């Protein structure tokens, strides 16, 4: 009896999943080996700066686009905004009006890293603490805002 096309595809799918199940422990062991090697290199030469792994590009934002967009959003707002608000506005500007949880989280985390770097350079400040914390441009906040700043 000849197998139907659907049966062939289902069997192929089962084989792929079986192969993935076999390879996942191998991948985990490679991650562990890489971490061990990097720790051993850092122990021998702590001044050596190892380049980070190359990750897949962001599907929504081009390289450097998110920081530029975040800066323009903060300038246009004229007041401190939460990182989540900036992320939602940046995604909306790119046409993503209803982002899924992962896209919003990745965007929010990238913005947090950007804002932390900008704060070290004196471009932004954090107003408030915890979940109520907001980020604003340092020059827009003006005098008298120092009492609300969090030192980090």
Q: What is the pLDDT of residues 9-31, one digit of tens each?
A: 999 999 999 999 999 999 999 99
**Nearest 5 degrees, angle CA 121-CA 126-CA 132?**
155
- In this structure, the answer to whether residues 135 and 74 fall within a common structural domain is yes
- Is 147 a residue whose pLDDT tops 60? no
- In this structure, the answer to whether residues 128 and 71 fall within a common structural domain is yes
Separation between Cα atoms, residue 150 and residue 152, nearest integer Å: 6
- Name the packing angle between helices 83-93 and 101-121 (round to 10°): 120
- Asked if residue 55 belongs to a domain, the reply is no
Q: What are the CB-based long-range contacts (under 8 Å, 24+) for 61-65?
A: 61/90, 61/94, 61/107
* Tally of domains in the chain: 2
- In this structure, the answer to whether residues 22 and 79 fall within a common structural domain is no
Q: What is the pLDDT of residues 49-69, one digit of tens each?
A: 888 877 778 889 998 999 999
- In this structure, the answer to whether residues 39 and 84 fall within a common structural domain is no
- In this structure, the answer to whether residues 72 and 143 fall within a common structural domain is yes
Residue 11's CB: how many other CB atoms inside 10 A?
11
- In this structure, the answer to whether residues 32 and 107 fall within a common structural domain is no
- Asked if residue 56 belongs to a domain, the reply is no
- In this structure, the answer to whether residues 109 and 69 fall within a common structural domain is yes
Distances (CA, A) of 108 to 8, 48, 113: 43, 30, 9
- In this structure, the answer to whether residues 90 and 125 fall within a common structural domain is yes
- Asked if residue 57 belongs to a domain, the reply is no
pLDDT computed for residue 1 by the predictor:
64
- What CATH number does the domain containing 117 carry? 1.10.10
State which residues form the domain around 11: 1-50
- In this structure, the answer to whether residues 126 and 74 fall within a common structural domain is yes
- In this structure, the answer to whether residues 25 and 78 fall within a common structural domain is no
Distances (CA, A) of 141 to 82, 117, 144, 146: 15, 18, 8, 9
- In this structure, the answer to whether residues 45 and 102 fall within a common structural domain is no
What rounded mean pLDDT belongs to the chain? 87
- Is 143 a residue whose pLDDT tops 70? no
Residue 70's CB: how many other CB atoms inside 10 A?
24
Separation between Cα atoms, residue 141 and residue 135, nearest integer Å: 10
Q: What is the pLDDT of residues 83-113, one digit of tens each?
A: 999 999 999 999 998 999 999 999 999 999 9
């Amino acid at each position: 009896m000849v197998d139907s096309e659907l049966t062939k595809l289902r069997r192929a799918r089962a084989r792929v999943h079986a192969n993935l199940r076999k390879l996942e422990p191998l991948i985990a062991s490679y991650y562990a080996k890489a971490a061990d090697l990097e720790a051993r290199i850092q122990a021998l030469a702590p001044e050596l700066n190892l380049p980070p792994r190359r990750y897949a590009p962001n599907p929504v934002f081009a390289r450097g686009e998110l920081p530029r967009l975040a800066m323009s959003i903060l300038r246009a707002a004229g007041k401190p905004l939460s990182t989540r608000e900036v992320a939602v506005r940046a995604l909306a500007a790119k046409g993503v009006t209803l982002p899924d949880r992962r896209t919003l989280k990745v965007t929010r985390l990238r913005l947090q890293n950007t804002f932390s770097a900008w704060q070290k350079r004196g471009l932004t400040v954090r107003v408030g603490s915890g979940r109520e914390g907001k980020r604003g441009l340092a020059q827009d906040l003006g005098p008298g805002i120092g009492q609300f700043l969090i030192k980090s």
